Structure 1
Amino acid sequence: MIRFEHVTKKYEDGTTAVDNLSFEVADGELVTLVGPSGCGKTTTMKMVNRLIEPTAGRIFLGGDDISAVDPVELRRRIGYVIQQVGLFPHRTVLDNTATVPHLLGVKRATARARAAELLDLVGLDPAVYGGRYPEQLSGGQRQRVGVARALAADPPVLLMDEPFGAVDPVVRERLQNEFLTLQKSLRKTVLFVTHDLEEAVRLGDRIAVYGQGSIEQFDAPAVVLGAPATPYVADFVGSDRGLKRLSVTPVEPGDLEQPPVVHTDDPLPSGLTHWAVVLDPGGRPHGWISAEQASLARGTVGEHAHRMDARLPVGASLKQAFATMLQYDAGWIAVTDEADNGRFLGVLTPARLHEALRRSTAADAQDIPRDEVELETVSGR
């Protein structure tokens, strides 16, 4: 969808903002551009909608050389979201969102109906917020309106320049979650500029790590964290990149242990060594029971099972798994298949979590599937 071919941007004072840049962004892909201030990432983005013109090289959008496209027409094909949003203070939220369709000649009623749909899509009830003005909204709400306005003309491409950088960390995480959910359904082609590596890792299908005016590494987040291409990238992602990698490494069925299992309507078992997971009639986690409790009590398993709160779905990140363990002070968490009505798959322990992280890192380094990795172990006496 977006292709850079040997693009350079030099200014009259001799500064080279971008130097011989070549990369592609696939249709429906979200690519994050990350790097320190002044590295050229925002310049790269602004050249896509011709707010900045390149000195050399060519940029293609959907197969068209953008230098041959009228800038106004080009920008109508691109949604643009910036940190400070840029809403019109004298227009309501609904009219702000309907701005671009209205400029494109869409009838006012149709444009407003589309705006109402999009406000609802980004979590703002149009009946509640549509008639308000930007000053009546929180920072997070204004950012949602900015995203809705960028989507109003249904552009194939979104350019997002530090869109969540001006809100507090809690709101920022919520906006990131909402945007990821939105992107899963809309599959827009997105260039997303950020200086925050964790945000880049969390959102991007691929990450472009910028040095000074050039890309040092362009790869999947897990690869950037697990196998930095250059000393610069290794220094940029930091010595704690293993911890950051937890957020992009999913829990897979092969990571799980298979403990003893009993069911709620079973009589209390007499042969337990330590504990067992208790399942309901549908095969979903109900709780757990200890060997001591099973040996001392009478009745059915379901009558004596402990509640089990430490659980998460397969495919969740290792970071979520670790956080769940800490939240419930749990030595293991139950993992379920939400696509199969929450069926129990196994348990993840701290040791297996660590092993999953090691396998993921080794798999990327060797370019093989995780289940084919053979880990070295150190045995002692």
Structure 2
Amino acid sequence: MIRFEHVTKRYDDGTTAVDDLSFEVAEGELVTLVGPSGCGKTTTMMMVNRLVEPTSGRVLVDGRDIAGVDPVALRRKIGYVIQQVGLFPHRTVLDNTATVPALLGWKKTAARARAAELLELVGLDPAVHGPRYPAQLSGGQRQRVGVARALAADPPVLLMDEPFGAVDPVVRERLQNEFLTLQATVRKTVLLVTHDIEEAVRMGDRMAVYGQGRIEQFDTPATVLGSPATPYVADFVGSDRGLKRLAVTPVTEADLDIRKGSREGYVGDPEEHEDGTHVPLGTSLKDALAVLLQHDTGRLTVTGEDGRPLGVLTPAGVHRALRRATTPAEDRTAHARPLPTERRATK
């Protein structure tokens, strides 16, 4: 859906922001661009909607070189979410959300209906929040409105520049979870810029780790954490990268201990199942361990789609899962993002 072909951006003062950049983002994929300030990640993203023009090379969206596309028309077909949100303070939340459909010539009733639908999708009651103005919302609510506005015209591509950076850590994590749930439904092609390695790992199907104007490694979070391509990447992702892998490694049946012959009293003990020590298959190891550490049983029941116990996760199973996550050939399969209902522990 998005392809960079030997793209370079060099400014008049001689500064090279991006140097010979080539990579591709598949349709429906969420790719995070992560790196320190000034590394070129935001410049990269802004070249997709022509807010920055490349010095050389080509940027293609859906197979078309965007250099030949009218910039205004291009931007109206690409959603854009920024940290400061950028809502119009004098317009209501509903009218803010309906901005792009209105610019595209939609009838007012249709634009507002679409806006109400999107507000509900991001968890805001249009009847309650629609008539309000941005100043009457919390930071997290304004960020949700920004996402709704970016999605209002149903764009195939969504650009997000530090979208959750302006809110406190608790709200930020909740917004990240909500966006991942939303993404599982709408499946947009997303470029998300962040300087936070935790966010890049948590959000991305794949992640691009930037050095100075270049991508040092472009792969799944599990591969980047388990097999850093360069010393720079290893240093950037941190010495605790083994712990970070917990967030991107799902629990599979291969990680479970199962008593042969019968599961009664071992996996399917009703009391154990009712006290909260169980999670659905596909839950991340991080979430599974969070539940496990709340109890003294030393094991965690894992259930299937029908809610029936499949086996138990023990410390030995966690170790097996982490070893699996560091095998490059298996990383790409293991990191397939679970459905939103499978990402959360049942409590």
TM-score by length of 1: 0.84
Structure number with greater CO (CA < 8 Å, separation at least 6) is 2
- Alpha-carbon separation, structure 2, partners of 1:367 and 1:188: 23
Q: 1:111 to 1:128 in 2, by over 3 A?
A: same
- SS of 1:277's equivalent in the other structure is coil
Pairing of 1:363-378 with structure 2 (within 5 A): 363-364=327-328
Aligned residue number for residue 337 of structure 2: none
Pairing of 1:267-306 with structure 2 (within 5 A): 276-277=265-266, 279=268, 286-288=270-272
- SS of 1:165's equivalent in the other structure is coil
Aligned residue number for residue 232 of structure 1: 232
Moved over 3 A (4+): 259-263, 365-370
Query: In the alignment, is residue 342 of structure 1 matched against residue 307 of structure 2?
Result: yes
Shift of 1:327: 2.0
Contact kept? 2:5, 2:22, Cα under 8 Å: yes
Aligned residue number for residue 99 of structure 2: 99
- Alpha-carbon separation, structure 1, partners of 2:108 and 2:332: 54
Q: Which of residues 313, 319, 328 in structure 1 aligns to 2:286?
A: 319
Query: In the alignment, is residue 188 of structure 1 matched against residue 188 of structure 2?
Result: yes
Shift of 1:307: 4.7
CA RMSD, aligned part only? 1.7
Q: 1:227 to 1:278 in 2, by over 3 A?
A: closer
Q: Flag structure 2 segments of 5+ consecutive residues without an equivalent.
A: 335-347
Q: Deviations over 1:164-202 (max 9, x none)?
A: 001011111110111001111111000000011111111
Q: Deviations over 1:8-28 (max 9, x none)?
A: 011111110000000001111
Shift of 1:326: 1.3
Q: Deviations over 1:198-232 (max 9, x none)?
A: 11111111000000000000001100000111111
Aligned residue number for residue 200 of structure 2: 200
- Alpha-carbon separation, structure 1, partners of 2:47 and 2:41: 10
Contact kept? 1:277, 1:287, Cα under 8 Å: no
Shift of 1:308: 3.0
Query: In the alignment, is residue 76 of structure 1 matched against residue 76 of structure 2?
Result: yes
Q: Sequence identity of aligned pairs in percent?
A: 74
Contact kept? 1:9, 1:56, Cα under 8 Å: yes
Shift of 1:63: 1.1
Aligned residues: 333
- Alpha-carbon separation, structure 1, partners of 2:246 and 2:23: 27
Contact kept? 1:278, 1:287, Cα under 8 Å: no
Pairing of 1:45-84 with structure 2 (within 5 A): 45-84=45-84
Q: 1:228 to 1:118 in 2, by over 3 A?
A: same
- Alpha-carbon separation, structure 2, partners of 1:262 and 1:336: 12
TM-score by length of 2: 0.92
Contact kept? 1:227, 1:365, Cα under 8 Å: no
- SS of 1:154's equivalent in the other structure is coil
Pairing of 1:242-253 with structure 2 (within 5 A): 242-253=242-253
Shift of 1:366: 7.8
Query: Is the radius of gyration larger for structure 1 or structure 2?
Result: 1
Shift of 1:43: 0.3
Aligned residue number for residue 303 of structure 1: none
Q: Deviations over 1:301-330 (max 9, x none)?
A: xxxxx9532110111011111111112243
Contact kept? 2:325, 2:331, Cα under 8 Å: no
- Alpha-carbon separation, structure 2, partners of 1:366 and 1:50: 37
Query: In the alignment, is residue 173 of structure 1 matched against residue 173 of structure 2?
Result: yes
- Alpha-carbon separation, structure 2, partners of 1:226 and 1:278: 31
